[in-house]
Amino acid sequence: MDNVRVRIAPSPTGYLHVGTAHTALFNWLFAKHNKGKFILRIEDTDIARSSKEYEENIIEGLKWLGLYWDEGPYYQTQRLDLYKKYAEELLKKELAYYCYCTPEELEERRKEALAQKKPPRYDRKCLYLSDEERAKYEREGRKPAIRLLIPEGKTIFNDIIRGEIEFNNQDIGDFVIMKSDGVPTYNFAVVIDDYTMGITHVIRGEDHISNTPKQLFIYNAFGWTPPEFAHLPLLLGPDRSKLSKRHGVTSVTEYKRMGYLPQALVNYLALLGWTPEENKEIYTIEELIELFDLRKVTKNPGIFDITKLEWINTQHIRRLSIKELADLTLPFLKEAEWFREENFNLEYYYKVLGLLQERLKTLSQIREYADYFFFDNLEYDKDTVKKVCKHPDTYFYLEKIKDEWNKLDEFTATNLETSLKTLAEQNQIPTKNLVHPIRVALTNKTIGPGLYEIAEVLGKEKTLKRLENFISFLKQI
């Protein structure tokens, strides 16, 4: 397709939601696949609820995901004169009219219509006002809104994902395009923006399907060719209700703070509602761009599963080089209360990460998994120690293995394992009777990477010192 132009148009009334990020991603992939343009527009006409904090969060989140825009950001509040100009054009064509009805009057007539089991659409009272009636309202200080005159009949459009969709015009009624305060309504501003920005495809959530006929009325009123529409499936929680805070974290930047990789979140979001023909689940950004096909997007909602996201994040962490992983995890490591910058050794940290990389589900877990590599005063739990040291002679065998390991010239995982197994065979005891106590002695944990690899990274001096401390603790209890 030539000259593809798409947009993401978030409202700065909240933090960047994963649902908005999902829509942004599909627009971005479509643009990149077709060598088109991706435009950022900030729809900030809800002045009371919009804030600079939310705007900055949205921009930060899009950048973190790598969804950089080719144009923008454009701001609707900087385009108010443009909306006014086009609204006045419709008034001159008599395709729109002033409405002086107050919110109270409208609500009363809405209730009357519902009581009579009629659609609660506008009754066109102000369409037929005389000059005297208008003058009366003006003297009362009423500031009019502007309504679009809706034609009779049906509105039909073809959705790229959902096929043909039909609406009955009389169910919609004449809706407001400019509010009495001079601010455009959502549907009017969107059409003016999309047309003047040359948007060729509007890709958005299915909750906007009901807005489409209203927007088509505006396109038709101006005689403009509308863009193509594609309405994406919504993201749902595990209970199949709309994804919200009660399902857990929904803010993109919160996933950043939790230690998820942007490429992992992009990978996961891309697969919610779209399935590439390749039978795999882990993709690079480049692969997603090459394979993306909007026609293959499903109508079925995407179920946001944090467990699946964790798994995908784990796979992407494993693809990182040790240096990349060090750069990404170091900020999280520095947040740990036990971290000391002056004692930090980068080469040592590379070795630590070599052991922990396969175990990390998120970058932030480095604080939990790496602690025993950086401080020596382990506070052993009495119950845990008793659980792994059931044999009354455990401390005796630990002293023996400490002596054996002290004799090693090359303190490597292979030599450590050979030495321990030899001692176990000579004393006719299961190796687990030594391995589990030593693991607790060195790490104060019952699970973790390979014991011998841990000891090799800790080094001979630290390993023997921890064994000595553990033996003393064991004798006390």
CATH number at residue 344: 1.10.8
Residues 39 and 156 in one domain: no
Q: What is the pLDDT at residue 220?
A: 97
Residue 376 within a domain: no
Task: Check 117, 245, 407, 475 and give the catalytic one.
Answer: 245
Residues 191 and 208 in one domain: yes
Residues 6+ apart with CB under 8 A from 318: 357, 358
Residues 398 and 366 in one domain: no
Q: Are 434 and 423 in contact (CB under 8 A)?
A: yes
Known catalytic residue: 93?
no
- Domain of 21, in residue numbers: 5-78+235-306
Residues 228 and 241 in one domain: no
For 453-462, which contacts have Cβ atoms below 8 Å and span 24 or more sequence positions?
Answer: 453/355, 453/413, 454/355, 455/405, 455/411, 455/413, 455/416, 456/411, 456/412, 456/413, 456/416, 457/348, 457/351, 457/352, 457/354, 457/355, 457/373, 458/373, 459/411, 460/405, 460/406, 460/408, 460/411, 462/376
Residue 426 within a domain: yes
- Domain tally, the chain: 4
Residues 273 and 325 in one domain: no
Q: Are 259 and 364 in contact (CB under 8 A)?
A: yes
Q: Are 309 and 264 in contact (CB under 8 A)?
A: yes
Residues 471 and 395 in one domain: yes
In this structure, the chain runs to a length of 477
Residues 41 and 126 in one domain: no
Q: What is the pLDDT at residue 244?
A: 74
Residues 454 and 465 in one domain: yes
Residues 227 and 104 in one domain: yes
Query: From CA 334, how far away is CA 372, in angstroms rounded?
Result: 15
Residue 115 within a domain: yes
Residues 302 and 395 in one domain: no
How high is the mean pLDDT in each 10-residue block of the chain (477 residues)? 92 95 98 98 94 97 98 97 98 97 92 86 92 94 96 95 95 94 96 98 96 98 98 90 75 96 98 89 97 94 94 98 98 93 93 98 97 92 89 88 96 97 92 94 95 98 96 88
Q: What is the pLDDT at residue 247?
A: 66
Residues 225 and 245 in one domain: no
Q: What is the pLDDT at residue 248?
A: 67
Residue 222 within a domain: yes
Residues 93 and 66 in one domain: no
Residue 33 within a domain: yes
Query: From CA 299, how far away is CA 423, in angstroms rounded?
Result: 64
